């Protein structure tokens, strides 16, 4: 006889069951296919205390279907009590995110939550967006960058240009306050962020600035969509960084550090060697 019951289980209980090889998949389930952005959104919604959703589990299912372990969970060594008939992608993504297995890692910046940021700002964009290193982040998705692009010299003064299609999300490279949103002939639509490190970060040629003057932004949070406004000969992002002492430094050196996973700030960055 088949009976259906519904009850609420804490996520930790279910994750433990996966770990203890008591909750598994029937072998006909397809492979885990979620992209990291979907996992990130799910983790953020759980952090806000929303339920993880519903699962359809079959008790004793391993007597009917051949079982296999959730991907990245310990290999089965007996018959699991439950098989996941529906909700497999969600459960696998949560298992991998909370157990630190799988190909991506997810982080919450607790300091930013303590400082009153919303979860959206405190979730480093990770694989779905910018790469975060301490209080610093790459200005565009890591996928759009490589070392030669990061090292490209600027035409006549220390700054950095990156050709990107109009509409590319641009992220704050450092935590700070938006002190100006500009729209002028030279920079076009752009903004200036006064960094917590005392540096000043200027972004130009946006299609649209997505933050307001006075707003506090976290490293890696989106601040604009790139464009081709102002004095620009093609769609690109222009970034320039002033040190706390007020001199233009080479963004190239800083970004190469962040790209390599090392935090570095403008007070120690070189001021020459990045112009052509």
Least distance (Å) between residue 74 CB and Zn ion: 52
Nearer to Zn ion, 42 or 138 (CB): 138
| CB contact set of 88 (below 8 Å; sequence gap of 6+) | 25, 29, 32, 70
Nearest-angstrom CA–CA distance, 199 and 181: 17
Least distance (Å) between residue 238 CB and Zn ion: 4
Nearer to Zn ion, 126 or 190 (CB): 190
| CB contact set of 183 (below 8 Å; sequence gap of 6+) | 189, 190, 229
Nearer to Zn ion, 135 or 161 (CB): 161
Per the CB < 8 A criterion, the answer to whether 137 and 219 are in contact is yes
Binders of Zn ion: how many residues, by CB under 5 A? 3
The 108-147 contact track toward Zn ion, x by CB under 5 A, reads ----------------------------------------
Per the CB < 8 A criterion, the answer to whether 266 and 197 are in contact is yes
- Count of alpha carbons within 13 Å of 119, Cβ hemisphere only? 12
Nearest-angstrom CA–CA distance, 123 and 86: 28
Q: Which residues in the 190-249 window bind Zn ion by CB under 5 A?
A: 238
In this structure, how many other beta carbons lie within 10 angstroms of the beta carbon of residue 58? 17
Least distance (Å) between residue 159 CB and Zn ion: 5
Nearer to Zn ion, 91 or 237 (CB): 237
With CB under 5 A as the contact rule, the residue among 161, 197, 207, 253 that binds Zn ion is: 161
Nearer to Zn ion, 175 or 205 (CB): 205
State the residues that interact with Zn ion by CB under 5 A: 159, 161, 238
């Amino acid at each position: 006889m088949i009976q259906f019951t519904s009850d609420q289980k804490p996520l930790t209980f279910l994750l433990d069951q996966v770990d203890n090889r008591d909750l598994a998949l029937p072998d006909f389930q397809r492979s885990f296919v979620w992209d990291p952005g979907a996992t990130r959104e799910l983790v953020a919604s759980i952090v806000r205390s929303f339920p993880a959703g519903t699962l359809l589990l079959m008790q004793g299912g391993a007597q009917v279907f051949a079982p296999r372990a959730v991907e990245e969970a310990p290999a089965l060594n007996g018959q699991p009590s439950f098989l996941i008939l529906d909700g497999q992608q969600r459960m696998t993504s949560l298992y991998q995110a909370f157990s630190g297995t799988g190909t991506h890692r997810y982080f919450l910046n607790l300091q930013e939550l303590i400082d009153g940021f919303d979860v959206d700002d405190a979730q480093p964009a990770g694989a779905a967006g910018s790469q975060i290193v301490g209080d610093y982040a790459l200005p565009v998705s890591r996928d759009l960058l490589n070392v030669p692009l990061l090292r490209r010299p600027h035409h006549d003064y220390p700054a950095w240009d990156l050709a990107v299609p109009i509409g590319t999300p641009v992220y704050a490279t450092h935590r700070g306050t938006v002190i100006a949103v500009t729209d002028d002939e030279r920079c076009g639509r752009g903004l200036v962020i006064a960094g917590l490190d005392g540096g000043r970060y200027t972004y130009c040629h946006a299609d649209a600035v997505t933050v307001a003057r006075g707003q506090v932004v976290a490293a890696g949070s989106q601040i604009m969509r790139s464009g081709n406004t102002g004095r620009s000969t093609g769609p690109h992002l222009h970034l320039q960084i002033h040190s706390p002492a007020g001199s233009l430094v080479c963004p190239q050196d800083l970004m190469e550090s962040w790209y390599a996973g090392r935090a570095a700030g403008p007070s120690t960055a070189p001021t020459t060697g990045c112009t052509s």
